[in-house]
Structure 1
């Protein structure tokens, strides 16, 4: 076993608790949410690692019943609905393709563990992102079961407004970076957790 891997394993074993904050951008938001759900399902098997929060930045959520933003903004700019459906067709096995596949739609019933067990979840959405309404609806469902799940919406912003190189200097991108940082800090400063960067 490589020395670095061995050292990391020993560090994890010796830690009281190792807190993890997941952050995913666009389709990475779907991945972060999936990993958080799996971590909840696995429970103490992951000890001492614990997912203490997640940040979903304009997640790539979709579903078979269109939301208001999916109708209004479907052809708005380079990330239009047709392109996103094609992305899901390329990603999912042909026999499993569905816009309500659990990887695509967070609001599918019986998708995984009960939402009340999910970690605190910050959702970042953009005013002109056609996927925004489903992300907001997911956050609302989390709040209904008392999960800390705020939505930070940025006006005059598009999908990936805070992560595309050409948009990083915009006021919205800079405000988002600061806002996410402040929210995450409250979870990485919880007593009893150690954090690695």
Structure 2
């Protein structure tokens, strides 16, 4: 079990530079993370990028719509939820990833600016926002990707949690129909005593104290943390969910819950592909300076293309 060599050279700097968000309010954490953000000097070109608002459960939800640079006819549509512990990050922080996915999957990507905890809304506000955008995308898919049979949800970290929950909600509420779910090192359960938490909860970026704090901001009541719409691993029944592509990082405190959810989906008869990147740390797919990031992006883009029956271009 070896850390990716490129990441290994900077892991101490990455880890020591991670803000002590667990000592902050949500607003302070958002400001601290935002101050570190450096936009790409030359963003990956796509056909178009559009910000708009769509109806949400408690008011309008802002989304950013990416159209792929090259598209031949109708393409899939993916509703995407960014990571950030349900507290920080935004449409800008994940702009590069969404551009890469739009082009790599030849899909329209709808990035969701859901309500962030605690000030903008605690559980289940963010999950309901992502579900509402998925429902809207289903109703308007003709003006989005146009492929009526290829609506997907996706997300990374806390956004992976929201995507998994949106898939559960869509099944339970009998719509919208989803063709797949993309879960990148998702937050799946509030269990901080797994082997991966013990191994990687310190010194590997995004430490235990921060991960516990995320749950405290979004789902402060411990009794709510066994609700499947907060922690999908607690669902009694995962059957009937759309096919899943999961990514697990080998040096991630969330490694074990990601593997457990993958296994639970498979046991429930859900078509599932797990991509395990042993050398990765949490969040590595938003770190384009590392070769492992490019490999992982290309792999999941090919997996999604195969899932929806399109030619693999990567």
- Give me the TM-score of the superposition, normalised by structure 1: 0.76
2:303 equivalent among 183, 193, 197: 183
Matched, 1:42 2:168: no
- 1:126 maps onto 2:249 in alignment: yes
With over 3 angstroms needed to count, the CA separation of the structure-2 counterparts of 1:151 and 1:71, relative to structure 1, is: same
- Residue in structure 2 matching 1:137, options 236, 250, 260: 260
CA contact (8 A) 1:64 1:100 kept: no
Indicate yes or no: 2:290 matched with 1:170: yes
> Quick one: higher RCO (CA 8 Å, sep 6+), 1 or 2?
1
Of stretches 57-66 and 32-41 in structure 1, the one that deviates more from structure 2 is 57-66
Q: SS state of the match for residue 127, structure 1? A: strand
- Counterpart pick for 1:84 among 192, 195, 211: 211
Summarize the Cα distance change of 1:19–1:81 in structure 2 as closer, same or farther, 3 Å threshold: same
Match of 1:32 in 2: 163
Paired residues of 1:32 and 1:54 also in contact (CA < 8 A): yes
Structure 2: where are the runs of 5+ without partners?
Answer: 1-53, 56-138
Counterparts of 2:197 and 2:309, CA distance in 1: 37
Q: Is the 8 A contact 2:152 2:180 kept in 1?
A: yes
CA RMSD of aligned residues (A): 2.7
Any idea what the Cα deviations from partners look like across 1:90-141, whole Å, max 9, x if unmatched?
112x44565544344322143xxx3121111111011110101111111001
Instruction: From the superposition, tell whether residues 50 and 77 of structure 1 become closer, same or farther in structure 2 (CA, over 3 Å).
Output: same
Contact kept, 8 Å, 2:171 with 2:241, in 1: the verdict is yes
- Matched length: 172
Residue number among 17, 20, 41 corresponding to 2:151 in the alignment: 20
More helix per residue: 1 or 2? 1
1:100–1:170: structure 2 CA closer, same or farther, 3 Å change rule? same
